[in-house]
Structure 1
Amino acid sequence: MSKFCLIAGLLLQATLLVHGQNTVAAFAEKAYAVLPVEEPYTFHKELSEWREPLRRDAGARPGVSEMPVGPRGWRLLVRNDSGLVLRTAAEEFSEYLERSMQVKVALEHPASMAEWNNERNAIIAGTREQLPGCGESLKGPKDYRIAVSPGRIIVCGYDERGAMYGLFDIERRMNLREAPFLERTLDITRHSLFKARMVLSGLGWEEWPDRYLALLARYGFDSIFASVYVNPNGVPGPPPYWDRMKKQDPKRVHDLIRRAARYGIELYCPIIYLYTGEPENEAGLRKLVRDIVTEFPQIRGYILLTEGFFYKSFFGAGGQGNIDLRDWVRHWARGVAIVSEECRKLNPDIEVLPWEYNIDFRPNQVDLKRYGTAQLPVETIPLLTFENGKAFERDGERGSLKDYAINEVGPAEVTIAQIDEARKRGMRGVYSKADTFASWQYGTFPYLPFPYQWYARYMALEKYKIDGTMETWSYGFKPSWMAEVRAWYSWSGYPELNQLLTGMARREFGAGSEDLVLTAWKRFSEAIKLVPDTGPNMGTNNSVATPLFFRKPKARAMTLDHSWEDPAIWQRHSQLWPYWPYTPRRLILVPDFANESNAAERYARPFSLQVFNKYLALAADQMERGLLSYRQAALKAPASKRAGAMREVLLAEQLQRMMRSDRAVLEFEDMRFRLAKTADRVMRLDLLKRMTALLQEERTRTQHSLETARRDSRLGYEWEQDYIYTPDHIEEKLKVIDLTLKEQIPEYAARQ
């Protein structure tokens, strides 16, 4: 009986696999026909020149509880003495109504709005001082109130940025409704949950076009981290890395400050310095700080990241060797104190954010991290890495997050201790580097469609009372419905999650598919919890383009095997492996062709390879369960939404393929290694058979990865390396697969 059940189970599994493959192929045929091929950087050009698209549903009609705006006779009132932020926001909002909602409003600038309560057919936007009697409930910067009454909408901000965010809140509500309608009885006061919401560009280093800045403001960001790894005044940084960065032009920083200010966006910048504690060196640091702060009085704060601001010697996270970390962090904190002292002399409001990212963040380093926070000046604001180092288990095997990730919500054990220490000491605040819609775990995607897992992180940020956030690293911001969810949860008074997601599902896929889409998003959110691969590695960022090598390939770039120059050192500095020079070496799996160590096992550590691959498969299977309903929703989408819905599905499929290819690369290398180690002919033939089957499966998957990447130029982009993978790279992978299947494995088998 048990044997019969086993056979039946295997047959059922095979049937489902074939059905799943057919479903993928059938959907792909339709999606590829609908979606045009994009040239690389297409998304870059679109975001650099971004304008509001048409969002109005021509068939939408206001319900009995809704008030329409327009189509004619409405005015937008902003007082004539308003500052740059509010005037710019009014212009942006007016353009939004015309372009996106097909409502033209007259933008007027009266001298007074004291009689705001008597206006009709008007949207009135101002600060609490400009709208007397309207803003008593507003408590602090960026707060706003929206009050709707017949023929009138009031947007009252605590300050001009609050009024701006109130106008953009109305945009989000209209976007969800796909019409210029608001609830007739809407009267909501929303308090900002964060003093700062900071982001890096999603376009490139120091790439901040005006239209992109306007987009950031719409998603609730009030600050940017600019001039990353480079002093804003252009003073070169120290070796071994920061002397090789692009040179900063101070004029560019001044220009960015000026342009960002129109959208209520302020700058945080780094200070890059090798601090030794010697008198001359300390004097040099003080001069550098004074020079920067004097030249750029508008910069809001300075981030002292240990990758660039360090004591004596630099080391990567966990790579300190024999360095006494307590001694190191104590001296580093003295350097932080010098920066803080000089800033406060010139402007006490400047925020100094020490960020000790490189100090060991594994779960067993709680005492060390607490000690580090205790050394910092109380007037500084520690910038804590939220999730890095968080412990997790798979089948009793323990690991921890190696870098930014979302399979665990956070905070990490070390971060909890640091937050506690900062609160006890009464520090000025606690900020955190916390991804909220994209991450280095799958960092070659513009966003990650795991709304329930992201929501859990938003709640954790609230629970631990994080005062400010840096919400991306170099994957940066690109607009998406997931980033829009994050914007909603950055102020109090946010909607219930399922209610919000239902509206977004309806907007993205069409009415009638809401349950299908929410089912998919729940499955995806469960899938990411299973993933054991964390951080900026091959498996989560490049596996779809990573080759599977049966033999050492021919060199594709210069080599130094016979040179007096050490090839290992050259590869470390260049980050390139001559045999696959398309992406940094760390983002491919390089086999040990001497067969002294198993590269797959090394990659999976601290987990066993068996457990690691098991959970990659479980995550991918859970993604497939979600994709079944996601594809169904896209196929049901009305013609006006079909292309967008199919693009959403292809992105989720590419995520699943990244998981499956991650496992395939590791399994293939493990089999290649074991093939080289065994003298048993039967075992060799069995391994060859399994490797052939794996390659055939990976070839089909890679072909779909290629076609998807061709239709979405956002995929593969992570501007630390520009594109980590491109369609051309994937085509090269396919050539390696074909060479292995058609020549290398048959030749090897013939010799057995």
Structure 2
Amino acid sequence: MLKKMGPERNFEFRKRLNEVHIPRRVNKTLKAGPDETEITGDWRIVVPADASDFVYRAAQDLQDYFARSMELALLLKKDDAARSPARSIVYRPASAAAPRKARSYRLTVTPDRVEIDASDERGVAQGGYYLEDLMNLRSAPFLKREVLTRSPVFSPRMTHSGWAIDQFPDAHLNAIAHAGMDAILLFIESGTDQTRSGYVDTEDLALRAAGYGIDLYFYPLLPCEKHPSDPGAEEYYEQLYGSLIRKCPHAGGIVFVGESCSFPTRDPHTCGRAWWEPVKDPDDRRPLNGFYPSEDYPEWLEMVKKVTRKYNPGLDIVFWSYNWGWAPDEARLALIRRLPPDITLEATFEMFEPVRHPAGEIGADSDLSIPVADYSTVLAGPGHYFRTEAEEAHRLGLKLYAMSNTGGDTWDIGVIGYEPIPYRWKMRVDALLEAHREWNLTGLMESHHYGWVPSFVSELIKEAYWTGGMDFEFHIRAIAERDFGPGMSEALNAWRLWSDAFAFYTPASADQYGPFRVGPSYPLVFPGETAEPPLPFTRFGGRIVNFTYPVPDPGETRKQLLSLRRMEILMEEGCRCMRRLPEELPRPEEAGRIAALGEFILCTVRTAIHTKEWHLACLELREKPAETLAALEKIGRAELENAHSAIPFAEIDSRIGFEPRSNYMGDREHIEWKLTHLQNTLESVIPQYKHSLQSNKEK
């Protein structure tokens, strides 16, 4: 199957992102069941005579869906919904028949009528998108006759752009809305409109996003140089943050995280230095400003409220505790108790919690424990850090959000669009829903700057985040049947094996900022060498990758190696399932991209294994030079083969190898750079080292 798929050029995946309604999804051989209503070409879509532009555009979206995906031309008409004829799909925003919660709707399907009664305009749009979901799943314009009442569990559901960092074409906004998300995140690097992709008209973006039922949340990267009690502080913060909302009063919220808004705190637990400032005292081991729950953050937040909410009284001010989840409970909770009651607390769901494997599980002589360094699916969550802050926020009545990564990606592997591990995602989603019930978790940040792309995983997660949704097992089987047809069982088995494999992922900092960040393009560096890959498209690139792999504890690294070998076995078994797929599939290109993604992840796991083996061997170079050099040559040759095998998988789907903030770091060009570097190490550097050893012996 994969051999038939030609290579994509870099960035070609954006064509798919721009195509919200996939053409010709209809299977014309199917027949409607006795309990189903068939939408035919003589149906019409009816909106109120006084429908707003928003509602009319939402109805036009459904009309476009029928034309492109179901190959039906439906009339769209403004009329009194009560007088609309039979064979109508009727939009009723602000309907008394709908639930009261924002974005909710009631869907009624009868033999000759489909009615969407919604609590508001955004709800009626979501009702139309759900009709698309149902027909996509059925591969036909057939709808089960029933009455469904649906409400979103979480709002906001925030995401960064998966198209490019801080770039949101209308088509991508539309796709985000179809996925059930209702907020986008925009980095601000300087002033009021300079983002990581350059100038953005923020008010225009806020209004364009609102046209799809999406709010704009700012994520400022604007370090503060004044304490809120300093002379002139109010004027300073007015210019820093107030001007941002003054220029864009339609923004929905603003997210603050310690490392990005570090201010000169006076808390004696910190060293008094921001991360960008020069070291004052190398012996001072206290945390940097922004990396500790400083006691004067409440004063800082009061200043932020003052200068921003005068332009938008309803602005959602989100205070994210990401940078000090490691700190003692007493310090973190003491800060939460003093936070202003009208701001939102956000905590990361799984970080800082150790993942543990008993010795027998991985074949080690002692247990393995690795704290989760950064966002990962290896633990479902919640971790102790999140749990303690959620409990305190709930007790105090603070609004609570989570960094959940349920857009489908994490820092497990930095250059893929999503992780095809649905059963692992279900564990995360179930834990988040339980947190909603127990601590009133209401909002989610679903991606960091790796963004979001549509996938079968995002279909499953969207459905889980609405009340009245279908059962997960029914849903995943329906997706597998739709996309894989006769290969449905193989696909389900692969997804299960891949999900199980990620339980053995190693979320150590060395891995997440090393081979797992860029995949098979990660270099194997011989002692004394350096390796800096070409980064022609990005000004950020290698700053989030450590090309000097650290081995602080060889014993722990060896146990991590055992865990990764277990991960490799399960990933390989899943890939074998995909390799057994029949040639004829309902959606061969989509199935092929999923299979290629699994193969690329397998190659990445092998690169991580070879990286650990390589650097463990390097530790013995002085003591056992001959044996070590032979081992390095063997490891290097295995990695040459592995990295070379990854290239076609990266080319089948041009989203593989890409990360929105860094652009391409794991594509053909970067993998070939790594191959050239490694070939030189094996054919020149190591032979020269051998020669120097021999020369020294002869002397």
User: Structure 1 residue 43 and structure 2 residue 13: aligned?
Assistant: yes
- Mapped partners of 2:682, 2:288: distance in 1: 52
CA distance in 2, matches of 1:438, 1:555: 27
Pairing of 1:641-652 with structure 2 (within 5 A): 641-652=587-598
Aligned to 2:75: 106
Q: Residues 446-491 of structure 1: CA distance to partner in whole angstroms, max 9, x if unpaired?
A: 0101111111111111111120111001110111111111111121
How far residue 687 of structure 1 moved from its aligned partner, in angstroms, is 2.8
What residue number does 1:381 align with?
Answer: 344
Name the residue aligned to 1:331.
Answer: 296
Residue of 270, 290, 294 corresponding to 2:219: 270
SS at match of 1:330: coil
- Take 2:431 and 2:110, find their aligned partners in 1: how far apart are those partners? 36
Please show how residues 91-240 of structure 1 align to structure 2 within 5 Å: 91-110=60-79, 112-115=80-83, 119-129=85-95, 134-135=97-98, 138-184=99-145, 186-232=146-192
Out of 24, 45, 68, which is 2:38 matched to? 68
Q: 1:230 to 1:92 in 2, by over 3 A?
A: farther
Pairwise mapping of residues 72-87 of structure 1 onto structure 2 (< 5 A)? Answer: 72-87=41-56
Q: Secondary structure at the match of 1:302?
A: strand
Match of 2:4 among 30, 34, 54: 34
SS at match of 2:45: strand
CA distance in 2, matches of 1:73, 1:647: 37
Q: CA deviation at 1:126?
A: 1.6
CA 1:742–1:304: 2 relative to 1, 3 Å: closer
CA contact (8 A) 2:165 2:197 kept: no
Matches of residues 110-509 of structure 1 in structure 2 within 5 Å?
110=79, 112-115=80-83, 119-129=85-95, 134-135=97-98, 138-184=99-145, 186-232=146-192, 248-249=199-200, 252-271=201-220, 272-274=222-224, 275-277=226-228, 278-286=230-238, 288-312=240-264, 313-315=273-275, 321-323=285-287, 329-359=294-324, 361-362=325-326, 365-394=328-357, 395=359, 396-427=367-398, 429-436=399-406, 437-465=408-436, 466-509=441-484
Which range moved further: 438-447 or 542-551? 542-551
8 A Cα contact 2:600 2:646, kept in partner: yes
Alignment of 1:498-577 (within 5 A): 498-510=473-485, 512-534=486-508, 536-550=512-526, 552-553=528-529
1:690-723 CA distance string (max 9 Å, x none): 3232222222211111121122210111122111
Q: Secondary structure at the match of 1:706?
A: helix
Partner of 1:596: none
TM-score by length of 2: 0.88
Paired residues, number: 658
Q: CA deviation at 1:160?
A: 0.8
Matched with 1:706 is 647
The answer to whether the 8 A contact 1:546-1:588 is kept is no
Distance 1:222 1:441 in 2: 25
Cα distance in 2, alignment partners of residues 454 and 172 from structure 1: 20
Contact map agreement 2:191 2:240 (CA 8 A) in 1: no
**Aligned residue identity for 1:368:** A
| More off after superposition, 732-741 vs 150-159 | 732-741
Aligned-partner SS, 1:447: coil
For residue 376 of structure 2, give the secondary structure of its aligned residue in structure 1. coil
Q: Which amino acid aligns with 1:441?
A: D
- How far apart are the structure 1 equivalents of 2:91 and 2:535? 57
- CA distance 1:662–1:157, shift in 2 (3 Å): same
Quick one: structure 1 residues 231 and 48, their matched pair in 2 at CA, closer, same or farther if it must change by over 3 Å?
farther
Residue equivalent to 2:562: 614
Structure 2 distance, partners of 1:265, 1:421, is: 30
Return the alpha-carbon distance in structure 1 between the equivalents of residues 275 and 540 of structure 2: 26
For residue 358 of structure 1, give the secondary structure of its aligned residue in structure 2. Answer: helix
Tell me the alpha carbon deviations over residues 490-518 of structure 1, each in whole angstroms, 9 at most, x when there is no partner.
211121111111111112212x3222221
Q: In structure 2, give the amino acid aligned to 1:455.
A: K
Question: Would you say 1:723 and 2:692 are equivalent positions?
Answer: no
CA distance in 2, matches of 1:346, 1:549: 53
Which piece of structure 1 moves more, 385-394 or 495-504?
Answer: 385-394
Query: Partners in 1 of 2:197 and 2:593 — Cα distance?
Result: 35
Residue 584 of structure 1 aligns with which residue? 542
The AA in structure 2 aligned to 1:587 is: V
Residue 29 (structure 2) aligned to one of 46, 59, 64: 59
Q: Is the Cα–Cα contact under 8 Å of residues 706 and 727 in structure 1 kept in the other structure?
A: yes
Deviates most, 306-315 or 324-333: 324-333
Unaligned runs of 5+ in 1: 1-29, 235-241, 558-575, 591-598
- CA contact under 8 A between 2:464 and 2:472: conserved in structure 1? no
Q: Distance in 1 between matches of 2:613 and 2:547?
A: 11
| CA spacing shift, 1:187–1:656, aligned 2, 3 Å | same
Partners in 2 of 1:548 and 1:328 — Cα distance?
Answer: 38
Distance 1:516 1:656, change over 3 A: same
- The CA deviation at 1:583 is 4.5
Distance 1:387 1:439 in 2: 11
Task: State the shift of 1:745 in Å.
Answer: 4.0
CA distance in 1, matches of 2:475, 2:78: 35
* Superposition CA RMSD, Å: 2.7
Q: Larger deviation: 282-291 or 264-273?
A: 282-291
Q: Does 1:672 align with 2:618?
A: yes
Higher mean displacement: 189-198 or 396-405: 396-405
Q: Counterpart amino acid of 1:539?
A: P
Structure 1 residue 257: Cα displacement: 1.6
TM-score using structure 1 length: 0.82
Q: How far is the alpha carbon of 1:613 from its aligned partner?
A: 0.7
1:77 is paired with a residue whose SS is strand
170 and 651 in structure 1: CA distance in 2 versus 1, 3 angstrom threshold: same
Q: Contact between 2:161 and 2:452, CA under 8 Å: does it hold in 1? A: yes
Alignment correspondent of 2:697? none
